[in-house]
Structure formats: C-alpha cells, structure tokens
Amino acid sequence: MGLEDKIRKVVPYVPGEQPKESGVIKLNTNENPYPPSPLVREAMERLQADRFRLYPDPAASELVSELARTYGLDESQIFVGVGSDDVLAMCFLTFFNSDSSILFPDITYSFYDVWAELFRIPYEQIPLDENFRIRPEDYMRKCGGIVIANPNAPTGRLLPVPEIEKILKANPDCVVIVDEAYIDFGGESALPLISRYGNLVVVQTFSKSRSSAGLRIGYAMADPKLIRYLSDVKYSFNSYTMNMPSIKLGAAVLRDSAYTEKCIAKIIRTRENTAAALRKLGFILDDSCANFLFIRHPQIPAEELFRGLKERKIYVRWWNKPRISSYLRVTIGTDSEMEAFLSALRCLLTDRK
C-alpha cells in the first residue's frame, strides 16, 4: 500500500462564491442583506482584547443561556457550534453510526452527502416528487437515520409539522435531524416536538434570519440525552470550537429579537414583491418559505442567465446537476438590490429577442 492509498480522499462541498471584486450584488449564499442589531456593535465595543489570551468557555454558557431563554428551553436541551455546518457534522458523526443507510432527499443541502462520505455513513438519496415535494411515506422504512432540511434548500418548499411528526412516529429507533436554517422566513418549527420525541434533533443557525453568517453560530435543540451524546463527541474532537467574540456577540444578537423580527418581515415583503415581478417576466416559481427564490424561465437556459447576471456583477447560484440545472437560486437582498437584479434580467430578456 503506497502513501496515496493511506490518505483519506474526499470530494469537498463547494460553497457559493465569495467574490473579491467590489460593487457586487451578492445573491448567491443566502446571507441576510441587513446588518446585525446595534446591540452587537455595542457588545463589540465591550470586548476585551486582553482576555483573548485565555481559552473561551468550552460550554459557551452565555450563548447557551440566551438561547434557552429565547426558546423557553432548559440549557441541557441545547448544543452550540461553529455555524450549523459544524453542528450538523457533529450530529452526523454522533447519531448516524449504524450499518443501515441514512435517508435524505435527492435534491437538498449538498453538504449531507459530503458528510456521509467523509464519515463513511451509508446513505440513500430519496427522490423528491415531480413537484419537488418530500413524500413522508418514503421515509417510513428501516434506516440508519433521517435528515431533512425544512424549508428545503434550494427549493424553498416547506414540509408541514404534522408530516414531520409522521416521520418521527414511524422511526422511533433512529434519529431524525430537521435542519431549520431557513425556518424563520415563513415556516412552523418542529421545535415543540422535542419534548415528545426523543429521536428529534432540530438544528438552526445565526447565518440567515439573524444576520450573522460571519460569526459562525449554529445550534441543535433536542432531548438532553441526545445533547449529552453530541457534547461527548464534540469534546472528543475539539473542546474550544466557539471563539470568545462569537459567544458574546451571539448572545447580544439574541437580546434584540425585535430587530431580528423587523428584518425578517422586510425580507418576506421583498421576497413576495420579487416573486410577483419575476412571474410577470415569465419566470416559473413556487412559493418560497425561505430567504431565496428557486426560479426557471421556460425559454432561457439558467446557465445563460447565471453568466449574464455575473457579467453585470450580480451573483446568483446555479448548479449543473440533474433535475435542477434549469433553475437559479436567488437570495433575497434589499429592495434596491432586487430592483437591480430585475432590471438586469429585463435587459437579458430583451437582448435575446
């Protein structure tokens, strides 16, 4: 066996581009177009650089206790990590440890199969139906675990909580992860079910509705027993995942829920106006419950629009993948960013005539 054969080789997840050029309208990674609450700036001024010589609190207690207060939970029901990517990766490592395949949709967050490959977890991708809907009955069979993004990405489609409950009921012997990265933009959270279902893990993030992708904060909420297993794995991997500024600033974000609500309301309004304008331009799209739209034009290839927009310094997301290559995923920005996006599309459509 040579050197090459002993090395773990993986095909990494490819995140959306983070362009270096200036003047870009960035609608490609579902960030929030609004800055975080002014309370975060104040908390930043209170940070003491002298304290950076110390390790941060491994339990991130200040953040966990604000999360507990925010959701009316006990601290033992919460686990935090470096973005929900870190939390989800820890969940895969902890909860998906059998020989049976875990299940997730064929069209979903494209990190799931990367973690499954990395951790050598067998998996099966279950096709969404022709309208990109999850059929709960497809998840009612023997398996090693289930992960569902709700609303799903990149479709923006929501699975109602009673449907999730059916999946939980049918799978008492395996963990069901519900990735609620986009839940605050119009969905009902499965969170209330954690007290009744010891197999449910709800994962959320500060990156979208809380305007803090740069702080890298995510969290899981579940029965204390599952949280303990998760913490044991995390402490066997890296005790100090959350850095001190993120713990403090994340707690400040949570102290201003009124501000967060206001930004969410603005984004939802902009989303609905943008959706209506896109339909007028001939685009086909379903209602979205997230901070993005998943759109296609019946005549114009998505790749052509993607490139045309990029030339105009407007970045959206396009995947050259089966079933979704005719779609663009467009993050909801400010009203003026979406106006610029729509007028660029109008130009691209006119140029083609």
Residues in the interface with ligand PMP (CB under 6 A) total 12
Cβ atoms of 56 and 261 within 8 Å: the answer is no
Q: Which CB atom, from 83 or from 308, has the smaller least distance to ligand PMP?
A: 83
In this chain, which of 32, 37, 77, 207 binds ligand PMP, going by CB under 6 A?
A: 207
Judged by CB under 6 A, the stretch of 77-85, 132-140, 156-164, 193-201 that binds ligand PMP is 77-85
- Is residue 31 a contact residue for ligand PMP (CB under 6 A)? no
What's the closest the beta carbon of residue 302 comes to ligand PMP, in angstroms?
19
Q: Which CB atom, from 149 or from 267, has the smaller least distance to ligand PMP?
A: 149
In this chain, which of 33, 56, 83, 186 binds ligand PMP, going by CB under 6 A?
A: 83
Q: Which CB atom, from 297 or from 329, has the smaller least distance to ligand PMP?
A: 329
Q: How far apart are CA 47 and CA 49, in angstroms?
A: 6
Q: How far apart are CA 86 and CA 217, in angstroms?
A: 9
The residue assigned the tokens 């339990």 is: 59
- Within the chain, residue ranges assigned H as helices are 38-46, 61-71, 83-95, 112-118, 161-170, 224-235, 244-254, 257-280, 302-311, 335-352
Q: Which CB atom, from 149 or from 226, has the smaller least distance to ligand PMP?
A: 149
Q: Which CB atom, from 115 or from 345, has the smaller least distance to ligand PMP?
A: 115
**Which of 250, 347, 245 is CA-nearest to residue 304?**
347
Cβ atoms of 95 and 177 within 8 Å: the answer is yes
Helix (H, G, I), strand (E, B) or coil at 88: helix
In this chain, which of 36, 105, 218, 333 binds ligand PMP, going by CB under 6 A?
A: 218
Is omega for the bond preceding 154 within 30 degrees of 0, making it cis?
yes
- Is residue 179 a contact residue for ligand PMP (CB under 6 A)? yes
Nearest residue to ligand PMP on Cβ basis: 83
- Is residue 348 a contact residue for ligand PMP (CB under 6 A)? no
Q: Which CB atom, from 182 or from 283, has the smaller least distance to ligand PMP?
A: 182
Q: Which CB atom, from 199 or from 212, has the smaller least distance to ligand PMP?
A: 212
Q: Could you tell me the two tokens for 34?
A: 């609004």
Phi–psi pair at 288, nearest 5 degrees: -110, 140
Judged by CB under 6 A, the stretch of 65-73, 205-213, 229-237, 244-252 that binds ligand PMP is 205-213
- Is residue 67 a contact residue for ligand PMP (CB under 6 A)? no
Q: Could you tell me the two tokens for 348?
A: 């691209």
> Mind giving me the DSSP string for 197-217?
-TTEEEEEESSSTTS-GGG--
What's the closest the beta carbon of residue 352 comes to ligand PMP, in angstroms?
31
Q: Name the burial class of residue 97, with classes exposed (0-12), middle (13-18) and buried (19+) by CB atoms within 10 angstroms of its CB.
A: middle
Helix (H, G, I), strand (E, B) or coil at 23: coil
Q: Which residues pair with 80 in a beta bridge?
A: 219
One symbol per residue from 113 to 152: x for binding ligand PMP (CB under 6 A), - otherwise; what is it? Answer: ------------------------------------x---
Q: Which CB atom, from 104 or from 139, has the smaller least distance to ligand PMP?
A: 104
Q: How far apart are CA 229 and CA 314, in angstroms?
A: 43
- Is residue 186 a contact residue for ligand PMP (CB under 6 A)? no
- Is residue 333 a contact residue for ligand PMP (CB under 6 A)? no
Which residues of this protein are in contact with ligand PMP, per CB under 6 A?
83-85, 109, 149, 153, 179, 181, 205, 207, 213, 218
